Structure 1
Amino acid sequence: MATFGSLSDLDLLTLTQILCRAGRLAALELVQDEQCGWIYFENGRVVLTPCWTRWLASRRLLALLRWKSGRFRVIPGFLCP
């Protein structure tokens, strides 16, 4: 079952730590105004999208972790594309 929420209620760094500690396969969809981002988790680790270079993926992840507002949706069992 997907979980929804607001980043103003649960900050992204805490949410990421929770998903890493859970050690499950999941995707985290983030939406802020007109922007959208995804963070993927597998076995307690953040998985970077393979179609990006590691440098670009790391920069995008850091940019997402700075978001203070917006909405999130956790989708369990979702594989990184």
Structure 2
Amino acid sequence: MQLEAIRTAEGETIHVDRSDGEKGSKDYFFVAYVSEDGAERWGYFCGNCETTDNAMDSMGRIECNVCGNVKKPDQWDAAHE
């Protein structure tokens, strides 16, 4: 696994794996890690606008708060709509 060091808006350094991602509506959400060895997962990095400003709900839906890139939930139930 080759990780790319990225600085967040808060000044934190995260390590992004561009080979591991979830397909969104505009581009992938790539898995990001706290450490450069990939031992501790941090969250997701939006490949469309290159930001960490995104949110994930309990159903697995990821949405970028900047560009609107969305990954649909892994599972969903019409009762939640």
TM-score by length of 1: 0.26
Pick the structure with more strand per residue: 2
TM-score by length of 2: 0.26
Does 1 or 2 have the higher relative contact order (CA < 8 Å, sep 6+)?
A: 1
In our comparison, the structure showing a higher alpha carbon Rg is 2
Pick the structure with more helix per residue: 1
